[in-house]
Amino acid sequence: MTERFNGSFTQQEPIPEAAIAAAVDVMREGRLHRYNTGPGEVAPTALLEQEFAATVGAQYCLAVASGGYAMATALRALGVGHGDKVLSNAFTLAPVPGAIAAVGAQPVFVGVTESLTIDLDDLEAKLDQAQVLLLSHMRGHICDMDRLMAMCDGAGVKVIEDCAHTMGAAWNGVPSGRHGAIGCYSCQTYKHVNSGEGGFLVTDDMHLAAKAIMMSGSYMLFERHLAGPPKEAFDQIKYETPNISGRMDNLRAAILRPQVTDLATQCARWNERYYALETGLRDTPGLSIVERPAQETIVGSSIQFLLLDWAGSAVQEVIKRCGARGVELKWFGAPEPVAFTSRYDSWRYAPSTPMAASDRVLAGVVDMRVPLTFSLEDCALIARIIRAEVSAVYQGQGGAQA
Ligand SMILES: *Cc1c(COP(=O)(O)O)cnc(C)c1O
């Protein structure tokens, strides 16, 4: 009998009951705007910021409307503006180059390695082209952050981390988002906490924090923040900083607070599923596992493998056959982007020159979401299906070589 998987790759777990109850309380009270507090009352958004700051060990935290907004705000806080260049990943998701475009700047794309991390040699060669690096830990893969920070510090390049896929992850014990000047996170449904939309920006720099808070739309109510810098940090900039509204509201904050408390538990559950899949896929002929370095504490909310140097038609055949058995895979190498874009040559508003080594990797990357609604048995079944179909196509094509 041919096995088939019948689960959904886009089904999240329900919002925890404690979060639902807190959301209902906020709605009953009617004070959804974060600065609409009664005397002596503290807004859920301010509490959430304090709790998230403690989770990642940051001095300051600002909750915002989306991860994309957090990144654009981080760029603005660092003074990036019209015509500036910003180093960023050739392999990431559309909101990353989009945040750079939002401030009128242009990305300088840096290549991707077979480990699916930013190519540090390519970065080194391009470091003199910009003053800021918007580093995306795409699909949760963290590069050698010690080497990256040494290089960027040496060149005076400020680092913003896009941690949309690494909330809860770490490099050498340092939480992701805490190496660079600013860390940005997303609370969108497909990330590690789910408020539909939402994001965080964290930093230890009081000037950057103050600017970000002013820009997010705090009017003159910045003293109501619990994870914000002292009042003095606003003395001058409160007159000089434009309001580019992107606040988080109390309803989302109420939904998120219990999820931030549960984050470590959820991350451990993702990793059980990730390693069940990885174990099942290991030693499949023609398939390369993306090995995770010992310094990396991962959050396996998605998994990638490489069909390196396969013909495009053979990769497509694997995707089709797995799809027919209920296993939804994404191929980043498809000639036309499907459902989303994640490679530099898809963003035609941003000029780029072809990067052969990166193109080879991107042509072979296959990606799969790992929702927490999957059981460990589901993961084992999915791995058996992928293994069988990859093997069949690989053998059928005499090695599936391009
Ligand atoms: C989801 C995502 C973001 C931020 O997305 P928002 O939808 O704006 O919250 C940023 N970077 C990557 C790599 C993402 O996948």
DSSP letter at 16?
A: P
CA 153 – ligand 1 centroid, Å: 26
Atom of ligand 1 nearest to the CA of 137: 13
pLDDT score of 157 more than 70: yes
More confident residue, 334 or 347: 347
At 341, is the pLDDT very low, low, confident or very high (cuts 50, 70, 90)? confident
Query: What would the mean pLDDT of 174-202 be, rounded to a whole number?
Result: 98
- Predicted pLDDT at 177: 98
Q: What percent of the chain has pLDDT over 70?
A: 99
246 lines ligand 1 (CB under 6 A): no
Pocket lining: 385 vs ligand 1, CB cutoff 6 Å:
no
Whether the pLDDT of residue 402 is over 80: the answer is no
- Which pairing describes strands 365-369 and 330-331: parallel, antiparallel, or unpaired? antiparallel
If you measure from the C-alpha of residue 66 to the centroid of ligand 1, how many angstroms do you get, rounded to a whole number?
8
Q: How confident is the model at residue 337 (pLDDT cuts 50, 70, 90)?
A: confident
Residue partners of 336: CB distance under 8 A and separation at least 6: none
| CA 138 to ligand 1 center in whole angstroms | 10
pLDDT at 399: 63
Average pLDDT over residues 215-235: 97
| pLDDT given for residue 332 in this prediction | 87
| Rg of the chain in Å (alpha carbons) | 22
User: What global pTM score does this model have?
Assistant: 0.97
The mean of the pLDDT values for the chain is: 96
Residue 125 scores a pLDDT above 60: yes
pLDDT of amino acid 134: 99
Task: List the residue whose alpha carbon is closest to atom 11 of ligand 1.
Answer: 164
Q: Would you place residue 400 in the very low, low, confident or very high pLDDT band (cuts 50, 70, 90)?
A: low
Number of C-alpha atoms within 13 angstroms, CB side, residue 217? 14
Atom number in ligand 1 closest to CA 92: 13
338: pLDDT strictly greater than 80: no
| Average pLDDT estimate for 193-198 | 98
Give the residue whose CA is nearest to atom 2 of ligand 1: 164
pLDDT band at 335 (very low <50, low <70, confident <90, very high): confident
What average pLDDT does the segment 253-259 reach? Answer: 98
Q: Counting atoms of ligand 1 from 1, which one is nearest the CA of 188? A: 9
C-alpha of residue 161 to centroid of ligand 1, in Å: 12
Ligand 1 atom closest to the Cα of residue 162 is 11
Q: Convert the pLDDT of each residue in 51-94 to its tens digit.
A: 999 999 999 999 999 999 999 999 999 999 999 999 999 999 99
Q: Cα–Cα distances in Å, from 290 out to 281, 282, 306, 361, 379?
A: 11, 10, 7, 11, 17
Predicted pLDDT at 342: 87
Phi, psi of 319 (to 5 degrees): -60, -45
- pLDDT at position 398 is 67
Q: Which residues pair with 161 in a beta bridge?
A: 135, 183
